[in-house]
Structure 1
Amino acid sequence: MNTGLKITAFAAALAATFGTAYAVGGAMDPVITEEKEPPRHGDVHGAKESPTGERSHDEQSGEGSHHEEGRRVGGEAELPGGLQISEGGFALDLRTPMVEADRRAELSFAVVDEETGRNVTAFRREHGKELHLIVASDDLTTYRHLHPVRAAGGTWSTPVELPEAGGYRVFADFTPDVKNAEGLTLGADLSVAGDTRPEPLPRATETVTVDGYEVTLDGTLNPGAGSELKLNVAKGGKPVTDLQPYLGAYGHLVALRAGDLAYLHVHPNGEPGDGRTKPGPEISFTATAPSKGAYRLFLDFQHEGKVRTAAFTVHAGAGAGTTEKPTPEKSAPRDAESVPHGH
């Protein structure tokens, strides 16, 4: 991946995975909740928040690698990840376009080779997985980072339970195992049936609390220019210095742009075992926003055997406003709840 947050979308959308998460913790993967209106198409982390449009992703490379914030399509300007349902000859076929709110369901999909019409069955492993799946609500208050299971015929499936009705975006982050293939993030819309109650984007704060952990964000997100984002993890007022590797890193960051859920998946600067990266309390990322505007950042980190998700609202560009010092209500919003981790 490149040096820049990858809203290209394991949540703007999740389009994370800039599709997600919030304050969440659990025995399997975390959640965060707040809500929305049905969209247009068709293991666990979690959170919920903004409307979707049409949504892309890039490769990783080098230290602090991450997906690029966009890619050129037909020689035109680069698009952020997750805005498109097909790209580079591959398409996301979401076979479960609708589920019911607050009810466990099986999410099924396939990545299709558009030239042959067949399901893709060969993928390169990235961070221990062939494919990372992000699900985020349009208002960015609910976020899940999932790792589905692939059947021999190329159909992927994973259980999912989404707490609020409304529109969601599903992001598939993968690299086909074919010559010269690039990493892709494809997106499709998911409807969750039930009474919808859209929530406003949570206010920007420097610190959020999830499952007893205080996570503080230091740094700014800049449009068109790389910048360092540092996230510090503490518990009970003491720095956490024994974070555990999760999918080959001490933290994973997904950024989703409010309004269209454009997706950026960013990886940290350094990795466990490289001789210089410490297991906390600080996790460092280099990120680039594709435009001015509001974004939702979802940090997944593991400690004491559980993965938690901390969610932040940030503003890129002039006139973004300042972050606020957290109050108890803002530190642990109602979208910050724990859920079983399902990888």
Structure 2
Amino acid sequence: MFSKNGYTLELATSEAAVGSNVPLQFRILDSAGTPLIRYADTHDKQLHLIVVGLDLTGFQHVHPELDEYGNWYVSVDFDHSGGYRVFVDFTPDGGDGITLSADVRVAGLYEPRPLPAAATATTVDGYTVSIEGAAHAGQTSKLTLSVSRDGIPVTDVESYLAAYGHLVALRASDLAYLHVHPDGHPGDGVTPAGPAITFYANMPSAEDYRLFLDFKHDGVVRTAEFTLTADSATTPVSEHAHYAHHGH
């Protein structure tokens, strides 16, 4: 079972076939085994679902629909065989935020792809996203991601999930899920709408991490992907990562 703080993620099935728009159904159970039906909104949604291959490819961030019985429904893409990790990020009504995870096995021959090398810039759909700021293990690191298109800074990034960007960070070695916090928010009178989007992240150990930035421009949400290497801190390393419990 995949439990934390008394809550358990229960997938309807842990096996799937390769395909697009594959139905995924699950429930969040409380400590009594009762489906959770009351959630507090976090970043404009009751629940955020992240899907990524165990080789850190095929990233998706989607928002399932909840029925009155506590069943969640969504469609995701399983574009290659092998294992995928499913993360659910939510806040029970009146409670604290929780991240749970479970694995789905997708039938077929698994040929994992190597982790891309660490880089300070990446491109997606004609946009270039660059990253500034060093990541130090065991410390809060300030990371600034800047968006440009055709060499021109984008200064009208649109609000998405109550922020100018949503950043997911996963440790490459074991897919530990890190909580990353944006700096400021749209409409606060001080946070500009790009090109720079700033986040604070805690990297628990000196190794590689995979970062996924969702940003919205011209009405379309795009995802920029980075590999970032955290270096050894000068202070003792402490485990600041928010771990999502999972099984194999």
Return the TM-score normalized by structure 1. Answer: 0.66
- 1:67-82 alignment runs, 5 A limit: none
Q: 1:123 aligns with which of 39, 49, 53?
A: 39
- 1:93-112 alignment runs, 5 A limit: 93-112=10-29
1:314 counterpart SS class: strand
State the 1:220 CA deviation.
1.5
Task: Name the CA distance, whole Å, in 2 between partners of 1:122 and 1:318.
Answer: 41
1:315 alignment partner in structure 2: 229
1:300 alignment partner in structure 2: 214
The higher relative CO (CA closer than 8 Å, separation ≥ 6) is in 1
Task: Name the CA distance, whole Å, in 2 between partners of 1:100 and 1:124.
Answer: 33
State the 1:195 CA deviation.
2.6
Task: Name the CA distance, whole Å, in 1 between partners of 2:154 and 2:227.
Answer: 23
Q: 2:9 aligns with which of 85, 92, 95?
A: 92
State the 1:243 CA deviation.
0.4
1:204 counterpart SS class: coil
1:155 alignment partner in structure 2: 71
1:43 alignment partner in structure 2: none
1:285 alignment partner in structure 2: 199
Q: Percent identity?
A: 50
1:250 alignment partner in structure 2: 164
Task: Name the CA distance, whole Å, in 2 between partners of 1:139 and 1:279.
Answer: 33
1:174 alignment partner in structure 2: 90
Task: Name the CA distance, whole Å, in 1 between partners of 2:192 and 2:102.
Answer: 37
State the 1:278 CA deviation.
0.5
Per-residue deviation, residues 70-101 of structure 1 (Å, max 9, x unmatched): xxxxxxxxxxxxxx820111100011211111
1:132 alignment partner in structure 2: 48
- Segments of structure 1 that go 5 or more residues without pairing to the other structure are 1-83, 320-343
Contact 2:205-2:232 within 8 A present in 1 as well: no
Per-residue deviation, residues 203-243 of structure 1 (Å, max 9, x unmatched): 11111000000000101221111111000000001000000
Contact 1:251-1:267 within 8 A present in 2 as well: no
Contact 2:133-2:144 within 8 A present in 1 as well: yes
Per-residue deviation, residues 90-114 of structure 1 (Å, max 9, x unmatched): 1000112111113431100000012
Task: Name the CA distance, whole Å, in 1 between partners of 2:160 and 2:13.
Answer: 28
- Amino acid aligned to 1:158: V
- Segments of structure 2 that go 5 or more residues without pairing to the other structure are 234-248
Task: Name the CA distance, whole Å, in 2 between partners of 1:220 and 1:243.
Answer: 24
Residue 234 (1) aligns with residue 148 (2): yes
- Amino acid aligned to 2:38: A
1:267 counterpart SS class: strand
2:210 counterpart SS class: strand
Task: Name the CA distance, whole Å, in 1 between partners of 2:29 and 2:211.
Answer: 29
- Over 3 Å counting, the alpha-carbon distance change for 1:280 and 1:103 in structure 2 is closer
Return the TM-score normalized by structure 2. Answer: 0.91
Per-residue deviation, residues 222-280 of structure 1 (Å, max 9, x unmatched): 11111110000000010000000001100011000012100013231000110100000
Structure with more strand by fraction = 2
Task: Name the CA distance, whole Å, in 2 between partners of 1:206 and 1:141.
Answer: 19
1:217 alignment partner in structure 2: 131
Moved over 3 A (4+): none
Task: Name the CA distance, whole Å, in 1 between partners of 2:138 and 2:55.
Answer: 24
1:32 alignment partner in structure 2: none
